[in-house]
């Protein structure tokens, strides 16, 4: 007898498998990774086969059999990876497995399947019947005539000659045609951005980088990989360090082609895919049929079919955002992480995995080479990975000069743009060129108050201020779904003199349009890019315009390349510095440097303006000199002194609940329990209060650990015990390993 060990797909933390089932003789194709529907008490659940065994601890009569097997399951090595993620990020096996299953294999609802269609072709007997004047109905004859020109699908036949399924069946019974059900591919549409398929001759530095990667590919499990905590010796890994426009994407493409030549597949991770339509278009153009793309903006059917194409080996390169690290690419030879500093590689929900860490684990397990590329490396990559340098822009142009504009001296009444910035924009208009303006807040203005009584509009559910969205005439909370109509008068004193303060993308858009007309202004933020395809289409419009300004949030700093841009300006460079977070400097540096990279890509050269209240901060100062090595040296020294990553590991425990005193005492109790369980060389800070969101009060515990594995294990054990405690049921406890 064969036993299937099945992990149920459920959201309940307490329900933990695997559970044993008997393998029915009729389901002998089941293997590790198969998805089955199983009886579970009175219910039916989906589950994943995580192990095959000969014997069970349970007596045979207590073993049930699966009811059915779904069409597709995950490969065995990905089942292992999913379970590893669950352990490493203190999540449940079910949530870990969910990441590696075919898209649409939900815990509830309908599961996605292949779409099939009936296709018919004419047989020799059919040809003979047509010419031999055999007795045929009108529709039957029309169908045979249509098919004599070539194979057709049932819907096509119905549309062409009105032959329905019954007519086809009769023809088939008479042996005149053959029909088969064939899988239909739901193919994701291209973005409309065109990219050249031509392969340029690589520059010497690019060649060197590709050679190093190729050598590592040929060496398979080379010994030179760094040792990573929780992962062990990793596969050969590289940091491809090059300013924007230095030809990194060409190196990725050549490396992918080298992997394909060796019969191996590749995964290319890009920041949230909406943000990189140009990169995706380039990969699609170069790789043709072997290219697959996986991301959340695809329909469920498209995602499922792309996944199946990878699983079957029909496609062997997957491009996608963080979740593509779980793509079922066969014989994986290469993982590329583009813009490796990007925060979107960290998942916010449970499991809060970091795709960069998972990529290292997966590369190590499959003997694949890892290439992380960026202009602004993370301190951890700078410290740990051997570097491949692309020091110059491909076109030989120098990086644009960066002018720091000190906003402390500016008159606050003159608005969000400094006179110097206006002057530079006027010059862009005069020259018929293009500019990019970035402000890190969407909406019109972040602050609405009553002039007479001082009433301030805040979110009723969160301790934050409501943001004015003038375009939709609403006040919106950016932390929860709260929306209300923009007021005409104060609810406290009925005064109609309300004052708006601060600026967001909508306001800057308006100011620019007023002053720079008739130059067109395009706004790109998550409001204008919400519709499917809107992101790419806004970029395309900006690209096609003769001249113009692109204004928006961080989105405008990513994943595009417009040679006519001669000015980029960032209006609130230090907004990120105000967050109380050890990564604030790193993030600010990356943001300023990335935006700087968008300017001066063409013959007209370019410049960058950085408006800041903190011109002396290390991140802004180094970014203005395009000096990542200098910044990283200082930043690593600071982290070493403060014992922050990469010199320690952080684990955060987040608690939230509606009842504040209960939350507070639970947080204190959890902190005490954790202090007892943690290894002695780790420190626990907190509980610290966080601002209320969605009517939930929040507390945070932060653990600085030297020994990652022992710390994670201790936290997991304690949190699981607490999660099972019924008296704490209304509290939510989440663990974030390596928080961002």
Look at residue 270 and give the partner it binds from ligand ADP, Zn ion, none, a contact being a CB closer than 5 to 8 Å depending on partner kind.
none
Instruction: Report in angstroms how near the CB of residue 696 gets to Zn ion at its nearest.
Output: 11
Name all contacts of 632-637 with Cβ < 8 Å and 24+ positions apart. 632/377, 632/379, 632/382, 635/379, 635/585, 635/586, 635/589, 636/379, 636/382, 636/383
245 touches ligand ADP (CB under 6 A):
yes
Question: Rounded CA gap, 354 and 340, in Å?
Answer: 11
* Tokens of residue 251, six digits: 């190196």
47 touches ligand ADP (CB under 6 A):
no
247 touches ligand ADP (CB under 6 A):
yes
682 touches ligand ADP (CB under 6 A):
no
- The answer to whether 222 and 216 are in contact (CB under 8 A) is yes
Binding string, 432-461, against Zn ion, x = CB under 5 A? ------------------x-xx-x---x-x
Residues 618-647 that bind Zn ion (CB under 5 A): none
Look at residue 328 and give the partner it binds from Zn ion, ligand ADP, none, a contact being a CB closer than 5 to 8 Å depending on partner kind.
none
* Tokens of residue 374, six digits: 């960026």
When binding is defined by CB under 6 A, the residue of 242, 377, 606, 686 that contacts ligand ADP is: 242
In terms of phi and psi (left: phi > 0; alpha: psi -120 to 50; beta: otherwise), the region of 570 is beta
- The answer to whether 188 and 158 are in contact (CB under 8 A) is no
Closer residue to ligand ADP, CB minimum distance, 248 or 652: 248
* Tokens of residue 278, six digits: 């140009």
Look at residue 482 and give the partner it binds from Zn ion, ligand ADP, none, a contact being a CB closer than 5 to 8 Å depending on partner kind.
Zn ion
Rounded to 5 degrees, φ, ψ at 453 are -110, -5
Look at residue 63 and give the partner it binds from Zn ion, ligand ADP, none, a contact being a CB closer than 5 to 8 Å depending on partner kind.
none
Look at residue 561 and give the partner it binds from Zn ion, ligand ADP, none, a contact being a CB closer than 5 to 8 Å depending on partner kind.
ligand ADP
Short-list 627, 615, 366, 415, CA closest to 514: 415
In terms of phi and psi (left: phi > 0; alpha: psi -120 to 50; beta: otherwise), the region of 495 is beta
- The answer to whether 73 and 49 are in contact (CB under 8 A) is yes
Look at residue 453 and give the partner it binds from Zn ion, ligand ADP, none, a contact being a CB closer than 5 to 8 Å depending on partner kind.
Zn ion
Look at residue 206 and give the partner it binds from ligand ADP, Zn ion, none, a contact being a CB closer than 5 to 8 Å depending on partner kind.
ligand ADP
Closer residue to ligand ADP, CB minimum distance, 132 or 204: 204
When binding is defined by CB under 6 A, the residue of 200, 288, 454, 491 that contacts ligand ADP is: 200
Query: How many residues would you count in the chain?
Result: 740
250 touches ligand ADP (CB under 6 A):
yes
**Which of the ranges 238-246, 355-363, 605-613, 614-622 carries the binding residues for ligand ADP, by CB under 6 A?**
238-246
Instruction: Report in angstroms how near the CB of residue 213 gets to Zn ion at its nearest.
Output: 46
Look at residue 258 and give the partner it binds from ligand ADP, Zn ion, none, a contact being a CB closer than 5 to 8 Å depending on partner kind.
none
Sheet holding 291-293, edge to edge: 291-293, 317-320, 265-269, 332-338, 369-374, 237-242, 387-390
Q: CA of 65: how far to CAs of 3, 43, 53, 389, 436, in Å?
A: 10, 13, 14, 57, 61
Residues 356-415 that bind ligand ADP (CB under 6 A): 394
When binding is defined by CB under 6 A, the residue of 214, 249, 619, 624 that contacts ligand ADP is: 249
Look at residue 244 and give the partner it binds from ligand ADP, Zn ion, none, a contact being a CB closer than 5 to 8 Å depending on partner kind.
ligand ADP
Closer residue to ligand ADP, CB minimum distance, 248 or 290: 248
Number of alpha helices (DSSP H) and beta strands (DSSP E) in the chain: 20, 32
Question: Rounded CA gap, 278 and 494, in Å?
Answer: 51
Look at residue 362 and give the partner it binds from ligand ADP, Zn ion, none, a contact being a CB closer than 5 to 8 Å depending on partner kind.
none
Instruction: Report in angstroms how near the CB of residue 553 gets to ligand ADP at its nearest.
Output: 20
Rounded to a whole number of angstroms, the CA Rg of the chain reads 29
Instruction: Report in angstroms how near the CB of residue 465 gets to Zn ion at its nearest.
Output: 10
Closer residue to ligand ADP, CB minimum distance, 242 or 543: 242
When binding is defined by CB under 6 A, the residue of 244, 376, 566, 656 that contacts ligand ADP is: 244
DSSP 96-160: HHHTTSPTT--SSSPPP--EEEEEEEE-HHHHHHHHTT----HHHHHHHHHHTTS-EEHHHHHHH
Instruction: Report in angstroms how near the CB of residue 616 gets to ligand ADP at its nearest.
Output: 29
When binding is defined by CB under 6 A, the residue of 78, 193, 202, 703 that contacts ligand ADP is: 202
Instruction: Report in angstroms how near the CB of residue 485 gets to Zn ion at its nearest.
Output: 16
Closer residue to ligand ADP, CB minimum distance, 202 or 424: 202
329 touches Zn ion (CB under 5 A):
no
Look at residue 492 and give the partner it binds from ligand ADP, Zn ion, none, a contact being a CB closer than 5 to 8 Å depending on partner kind.
Zn ion
Short-list 125, 390, 86, 410, CA closest to 248: 390
Q: Cβ atoms within 10 A of the Cβ of 423, count?
A: 11
DSSP 49-99: EEEEES--SS-GGG----SEE-S----HHHHHHHHHHHHHTT--HHHHHHT
Short-list 94, 81, 102, CA closest to 34: 102
Residue 444 CA neighbour count, 13 Å, CB half: 14
Question: Rounded CA gap, 488 and 407, in Å?
Answer: 32
Instruction: Report in angstroms how near the CB of residue 493 gets to Zn ion at its nearest.
Output: 3
Q: Which helix (H) or strand (E) holds 286?
A: helix 277-287
Question: Rounded CA gap, 544 and 566, in Å?
Answer: 16
Q: Which helix (H) or strand (E) holds 601?
A: none
- The answer to whether 649 and 711 are in contact (CB under 8 A) is yes
203 touches ligand ADP (CB under 6 A):
yes
Closer residue to ligand ADP, CB minimum distance, 175 or 200: 200
Closer residue to ligand ADP, CB minimum distance, 93 or 242: 242
Q: Dihedral, CA atoms, 637, 638, 642, 647, nearest 10 degrees?
A: -40
628 touches ligand ADP (CB under 6 A):
no
Instruction: Report in angstroms how near the CB of residue 704 gets to ligand ADP at its nearest.
Output: 35
Look at residue 202 and give the partner it binds from Zn ion, ligand ADP, none, a contact being a CB closer than 5 to 8 Å depending on partner kind.
ligand ADP
**Which of the ranges 60-68, 246-254, 305-313, 570-578 carries the binding residues for ligand ADP, by CB under 6 A?**
246-254
| Count of residues of this chain found to bind ligand ADP when the rule CB under 6 A is applied | 15
Binding string, 473-492, against Zn ion, x = CB under 5 A? ----x-xx-x-------x-x
Q: Which helix (H) or strand (E) holds 714?
A: helix 708-723
Residues 483-542 that bind Zn ion (CB under 5 A): 490, 492-493, 495
- The answer to whether 576 and 612 are in contact (CB under 8 A) is no
| Count of residues of this chain found to bind Zn ion when the rule CB under 5 A is applied | 15
Beta-carbon contacts of 634 under 8 Å, excluding residues fewer than 6 positions away, are 618, 622
Roughly how many angstroms between the first and final C-alpha of the chain, as a whole number? 48
Look at residue 228 and give the partner it binds from ligand ADP, Zn ion, none, a contact being a CB closer than 5 to 8 Å depending on partner kind.
none
Residues 204-233 that bind ligand ADP (CB under 6 A): 206
160 touches ligand ADP (CB under 6 A):
no
When binding is defined by CB under 6 A, the residue of 127, 561, 673, 707 that contacts ligand ADP is: 561
Question: Rounded CA gap, 599 and 549, in Å?
Answer: 12
When binding is defined by CB under 6 A, the residue of 139, 248, 442, 535 that contacts ligand ADP is: 248
Instruction: Kindly list the residues in this chain that would bind ligand ADP in the complex (CB under 6 A).
Output: 200-203, 206, 242, 244-250, 394, 561
Would you tell me which residues interact with Zn ion (CB under 5 A)?
450, 452-453, 455, 459, 461-462, 477, 479-480, 482, 490, 492-493, 495
């Amino acid at each position: 007898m064969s036993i299937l060990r099945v992990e149920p797909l459920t959201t309940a933390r307490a329900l933990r498998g695997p559970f044993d089932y008997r393998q029915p003789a009729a389901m002998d194709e089941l293997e590790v990774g198969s998805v089955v529907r199983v009886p579970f008490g009175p219910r039916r659940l989906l589950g994943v086969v995580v192990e095959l065994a000969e014997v069970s601890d349970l007596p045979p009569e207590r073993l049930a059999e699966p009811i059915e097997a779904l069409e597709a399951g995950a490969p065995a090595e990905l089942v292992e990876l999913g379970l590893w993620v669950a352990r490493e990020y203190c999540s449940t096996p079910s949530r870990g497995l969910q990441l590696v299953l075919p898209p649409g294999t939900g815990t509830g609802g309908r599961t996605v399947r292949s779409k099939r269609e009936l296709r018919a072709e004419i047989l020799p007997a059919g040809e003979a019947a047509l010419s031999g004047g055999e007795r045929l109905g009108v529709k039957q004859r029309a169908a045979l005539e249509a098919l004599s020109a070539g194979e057709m699908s049932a819907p096509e036949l119905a549309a062409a000659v009105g032959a329905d399924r019954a007519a086809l069946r009769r023809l088939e019974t008479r042996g005149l045609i053959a029909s088969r059900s064939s899988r239909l591919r739901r193919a994701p549409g291209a973005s409309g951005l065109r990219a050249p398929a031509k392969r340029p001759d690589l520059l010497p530095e690019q060649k060197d980088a590709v050679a190093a990667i190729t050598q590592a590919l040929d060496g398979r499990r080379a010994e030179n990989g760094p040792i990573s905590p929780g992962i062990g010796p990793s596969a050969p890994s590289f940091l491809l360090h090059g300013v924007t426009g230095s030809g990194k994407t060409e190196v990725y493409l050549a490396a992918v082609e080298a992997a394909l030549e060796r019969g191996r597949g590749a995964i290319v991770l890009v920041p949230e895919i909406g943000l990189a339509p140009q990169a995706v278009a380039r990969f699609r153009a170069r790789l043709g049929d072997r290219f697959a793309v996986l991301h959340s903006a695809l329909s469920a059917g498209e995602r499922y079919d792309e996944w199946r194409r990878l699983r079957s080996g029909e496609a062997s390169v997957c491009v996608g955002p963080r979740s593509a690290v779980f793509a079922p690419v066969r014989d994986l030879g290469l993982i590329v992480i583009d813009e490796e500093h990007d925060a979107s590689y960290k998942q916010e929900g449970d499991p809060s995995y970091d795709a960069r860490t998972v990529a290292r684990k997966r590369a190590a397990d499959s003997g694949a080479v890892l290439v992380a590329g960026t202009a602004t490396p993370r301190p951890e990559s700078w410290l740990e990975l051997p570097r491949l340098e692309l020091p110059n822009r491909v076109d030989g142009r120098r990086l644009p000069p960066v002018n720091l504009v000190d906003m402390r001296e500016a008159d606050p009444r003159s608005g969000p743009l400094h006179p110097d910035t206006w002057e530079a924009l006027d010059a862009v208009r005069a020259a018929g060129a293009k500019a990019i303006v970035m402000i890190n807040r969407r909406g019109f203005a972040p602050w609405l108050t009553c002039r007479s009584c001082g009433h301030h509009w805040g979110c009723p559910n969160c301790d934050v201020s409501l943001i004015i969205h003038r375009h939709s005439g609403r006040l919106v909370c950016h932390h929860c779904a709260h929306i209300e109509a923009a007021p005409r008068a104060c609810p406290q004193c009925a005064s109609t003199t309300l004052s708006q303060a601060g600026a967001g993308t909508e306001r800057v858009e308006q100011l620019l349009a007023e002053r720079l007309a008739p130059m067109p202004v395009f706004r790109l933020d998550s409001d204008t890019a919400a519709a499917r395809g809107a992101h790419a289409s806004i970029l395309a419009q900006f690209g096609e315009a003769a001249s113009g300004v692109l204004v928006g949030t961080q989105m405008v700093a990513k994943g595009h390349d417009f040679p006519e841009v001669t000015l980029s300006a960032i209006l609130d460079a230090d907004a990120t510095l105000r967050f109380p977070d050890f990564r604030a400097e790193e993030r600010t540096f990356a943001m300023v440097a990335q935006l700087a990279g968008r300017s001066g890509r063409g013959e007209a050269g370019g410049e960058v303006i950085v408006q800041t209240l903190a011109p002396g901060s290390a991140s802004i100062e180094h970014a203005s000199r395009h000096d990542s090595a200098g910044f990283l040296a200082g930043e690593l020294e600071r982290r070493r002194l403060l014992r922050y990553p990469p010199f320690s590991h952080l684990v955060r425990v987040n608690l939230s609940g509606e009842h504040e005193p209960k939350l507070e005492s639970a947080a204190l109790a959890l902190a005490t329990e954790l202090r007892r369980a943690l290894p002695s060389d780790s420190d626990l800070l907190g509980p610290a209060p966080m601002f209320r969101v969605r009517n939930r009060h929040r507390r945070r515990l932060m653990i600085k650990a030297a020994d990652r594995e022992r710390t994670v294990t201790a936290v997991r054990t304690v949190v699981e015990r607490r999660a099972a405690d019924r008296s704490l049921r209304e509290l939510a406890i989440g663990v974030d390993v390596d928080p961002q």
